[in-house]
Amino acid sequence: MRPRRLRLLFALCVVASLVLAGRLAYWQTFGRADLSARARDQVRSDLVVAAQRGVIRDRNGAILATTVELRSLYALPSRIPKDDRGRVAQQLGVLLGRDARPIQAALDSGAEWLYVQRWLPEGTANAIAALNIPGLGFQNEPKRLYPNDSIGAAVLGFVNDNGDGVNGVEGYYDASLRGTDGRLVVERDPANRDLAVGLREAIPPRNGADLVLTIDLVAQTAAERELAAAMKKERATSGSILVIDPTDGSIRALASAPTYDPAAVRIADPEALRDRAIAWPYEPGSTMKAITIAAALNERLVTPSDTYNDVGYTIVGGRRLNNALGKAYGPTTVTQILERSLNAGAAWVGQKLGAQRLADYLGRFGFGKPTGVDLGGEVSGTMRPLVEWYPVDVGTASFGQGVSASPLQLAMAYAAIANGGTLFRPYVVASRRDADGEHRTAPVTVSHAVTPETAAAVRTMLLSTVDTGIAHNAAIAGFSVAGKTGTAQIASPDGSYVDDLYVSSFAGFFPVDDPKYLVLVVLERPDSRLLGTVTATDAFKGVAQDILRYARIQPDRRP
Amino acid sequence: MRAASWDLRIFGLAIAAIVFCFALALLYVAQTTALSVAGYDVQKLAAQRDEVRRQNSLLEVQIARLDSPARVAADAQRLGMVQARYVPMIPAQPLIAKR
């Protein structure tokens, strides 16, 4: 070889070496960070560690809602031989209780990865795992479970597919219940196992708070049972039962119909998602008479024994307001206004009060503004501003027309009468337990509606209404019960009333000397029209008798 | 003679240093391996713990389902039992007063 060629070869080698050296120097200096990141990404795993949603329990610790990781079945269709897919679909169809054809269609769809079914019951998942079919696998996924099915659905609300709480406690306390997700950054080996000696950065999740409700599962079950029976008997369009502890405003049971299973909201009737107890303003009708009379007693305008001459109607603002069925009773006491549920009598008392004072007392009893209950979706009833009242309104409002209220608003007003005159803010969460400890809810006083003496007088009048009056069907042997029936007309959008359709209700509490429970039953459009209150009082008795037995309340009367 | 002895000593020291470094490296590798193996064991145990916790949660849900008053009532009804509409109760106070 000539020296010139050798020199050329040498020069080429030098140039090649320089290029390689330059490239190497580049990757070792400027490109180093990029290369390192790409290498790290191959082994690094950055995961969101989901916070566990808090558990909801009743006042005795029974689980009402909890989140559990259930196994979801997925498939990698390419790993299932084509000839076997029909057989696999058949086997899965039998175990999942589904038609095999859609499963096979999914396996043949060409998808790389797909869910066959999410959130399997444990037994089904075990049975499928035992088949050991290649190409099928399980992935744990959190699922909100409600062990009592539809019991308490209106109180609890539900969690949608995005993990957001909707309605009820789930909606109102969503931020507390959901907690804060954590983060875990680790290096993994080719088998996807964490490397103990590698990078590890962890921000632990902050689990959601556990809630203990004021709800008593036994009372709740009784309320749901009686409401369902009343709805069925009366073929009512909707209804609600509330059980309240009048001493502090805590809600012991809240049932709403139609109802739904919070674990299967997709198939629920959208109308069922509306909690009738807090989001259904209706004109309360005759149950309002006790409030009107309480106001007049408190203002010392009447006494329980004061008398007026009942002619079957009264004229207010130039309009004639009749008793139900237009019946006249002659000389009638204020107590008998409640015992006989007289519209004319209530309007007479209302006129004594005057519009200003009546509106003021309705406000003191919580009408016209939301109760502030800690449940999502509350809709308050309405009370027109006083300046918009017509002269006749003082009469109609006295017996619960022209004023709307949710069942909860009415129940709280009656609770004020039961407890000596204090209007409490209703609540369903008794305590919240999070990482910082337990936080208990303290009862909140909204107003002192009437004096204890007035409340005691109205309690006696309502006791008489049950013992000898129109609500005698609500009497329970061995116990003193005070209460009032209500039959209200239904207002139509044009301002008139719907013909021959009513809302029937009964609000009662017991034992009268020291009321422990208040129960309100409301039924919309019962089949038996004006006699719907009989079914309402039957439902009241059903709930009350269960509670009396369960709470071991001593009889306060001879049976 | 003296120079040869000095060289031997240096040689011995170098060998000792190499052996020491090798032993140190071996110890490091052994410890790292042990740590990795322990890490895998920890992961397995953590997975077992999570599965036991999951099973425990499922059992709690099952207990809650079985304890549900609605389920108990339905089962009682299936057995032919009916809800008592009236349960007579004897007030305790008169009995206590008689004693």
Task: Check CB contact under 8 Å for A559 and B88.
Answer: yes
B54 → closest Cβ in A68, A147, A196: A68
Does the structure show a pLDDT above 60 at A152? yes
Whole-number pLDDT of residue A495: 74
B-chain CB neighbours of A60 within 8 Å are: none
pLDDT tens column, A420-479: 999 999 999 999 999 899 999 999 999 999 999 999 999 999 999 999 999 999 999 889
A107: left (phi over 0), alpha (psi -120 to 50) or beta: alpha
CA torsion sign, A315 to A317 to A318 to A324?
Answer: negative
pLDDT tens column, A292-343: 999 999 999 999 999 999 999 999 999 999 998 888 999 999 999 999 999 9
Does the structure show a pLDDT above 90 at A117? yes
Q: Say whether A519 sits in a helix, a strand or coil.
A: strand
Q: Nearest to residue A362, comparing CAs of A334, A332, A402?
A: A402
Please name the residue of chain B whose CA is at the shortest distance from the CA of residue A193: B40
Task: Check CB contact under 8 Å for A196 and B36.
Answer: yes
Q: Do the Cβ atoms of A497 and A491 come closer than 8 Å?
A: yes
Segment holding B2, helix H or strand E: helix B2-67
Does the structure show a pLDDT above 60 at A1? no
Mean pLDDT of the A33-57 span: 88
Does the structure show a pLDDT above 90 at A370? yes
Report cis status (omega within 30 of 0) of the bond before A270: no
Q: Decide if A478 touches B, using CB distance below 8 A.
A: yes
Q: Angle at the Cα of B53 (from B49 to B54), degrees rounded to 5?
A: 115
Does the structure show a pLDDT above 80 at A288? yes
Mean pLDDT of the A18-23 span: 93
Whole-number pLDDT of residue A339: 96
Tokens in use for B54?
Answer: 């999951």
**Residue of A56, A126, A139, A193 to mutate, testing the B interface (most B Cβ within 10 Å of its Cβ):** A193
Question: Taking all residues of chain A, what is their mean pLDDT, rounded to a whole number?
Answer: 93
**Residue of B32, B56, B60 to mutate, testing the A interface (most A Cβ within 10 Å of its Cβ):** B60
Segment holding A536, helix H or strand E: helix A532-550
Whole-number pLDDT of residue A442: 96
**Residue of A141, A156, A194, A537 to mutate, testing the B interface (most B Cβ within 10 Å of its Cβ):** A194
Does the structure show a pLDDT above 70 at A507? yes
pLDDT band at B1 (very low <50, low <70, confident <90, very high): low
Whole-number pLDDT of residue A552: 87
Higher pLDDT, B91 or A33: A33
A2: left (phi over 0), alpha (psi -120 to 50) or beta: beta
| Nearest-angstrom CA–CA distance, A145 and A68 | 7
Mean pLDDT of the A139-161 span: 94
CA torsion sign, A106 to A109 to A110 to A111?
Answer: negative
Whole-number pLDDT of residue A28: 87
Share of chain A above pLDDT 90, in %: 80
Query: Would you tell me which residues 418-437 of chain A have a C-beta closer than 8 angstroms to some C-beta of chain B?
Result: none
Question: β-strands A422-424, A200-203: how paired?
Answer: unpaired
Whole-number pLDDT of residue B95: 67
Does the structure show a pLDDT above 90 at B39? no
> Lowest-confidence range among A28-37, A64-73, A99-108, B46-55?
A28-37
pLDDT band at A196 (very low <50, low <70, confident <90, very high): confident
> Lowest-confidence range among A81-95, A490-504, A516-530, B41-55?
A490-504
Chain A: closest CA distance from residue B49 (Å): 14
B-chain CB neighbours of A66 within 8 Å are: 57, 60-61, 64
A-chain CB neighbours of B57 within 8 Å are: 66, 68-69
Mean pLDDT of the A33-49 span: 84
pLDDT tens column, A220-265: 999 999 999 999 999 999 999 999 999 999 999 999 999 999 988 9
- Interior/surface letters A411-433, b for 16+ CB within 10 angstroms, e for the rest: bbbbbbbbbbbbbbbbbbbbbbb
Whole-number pLDDT of residue A557: 83
Q: Nearest to residue A286, comparing CAs of A367, A203, A343?
A: A343
pLDDT tens column, B4-19: 788 889 999 999 999 9
Does the structure show a pLDDT above 90 at A191? no
B-chain CB neighbours of A196 within 8 Å are: 35-36, 38-40, 42
Higher pLDDT, A1 or B18: B18
Under 8 Å CB pairs connecting chains A and B tally to 71
Question: β-strands A250-257, A238-245: how paired?
Answer: antiparallel
Helices (H), A238-309: 276-279, 289-298
> Lowest-confidence range among A30-34, A97-101, B53-57, B91-95?
B91-95
Mean pLDDT of the A65-88 span: 94
B-chain CB neighbours of A205 within 8 Å are: none
Chain B: closest CA distance from residue A47 (Å): 16
A-chain CB neighbours of B61 within 8 Å are: 63, 66, 68, 145, 147
Task: Check CB contact under 8 Å for A68 and B58.
Answer: yes
Whole-number pLDDT of residue A188: 80
A-chain CB neighbours of B91 within 8 Å are: 554-556
Does the structure show a pLDDT above 80 at A482? yes
Count of CB atoms situated within 10 Å of the CB of A122: 16
B57 → closest Cβ in A68, A221, A556: A68
Whole-number pLDDT of residue B6: 83
Task: Check CB contact under 8 Å for A147 and B88.
Answer: no
Chain B: closest CA distance from residue A425 (Å): 29
Task: Check CB contact under 8 Å for A147 and B65.
Answer: yes
B-chain CB neighbours of A122 within 8 Å are: 58
pLDDT band at B53 (very low <50, low <70, confident <90, very high): very high
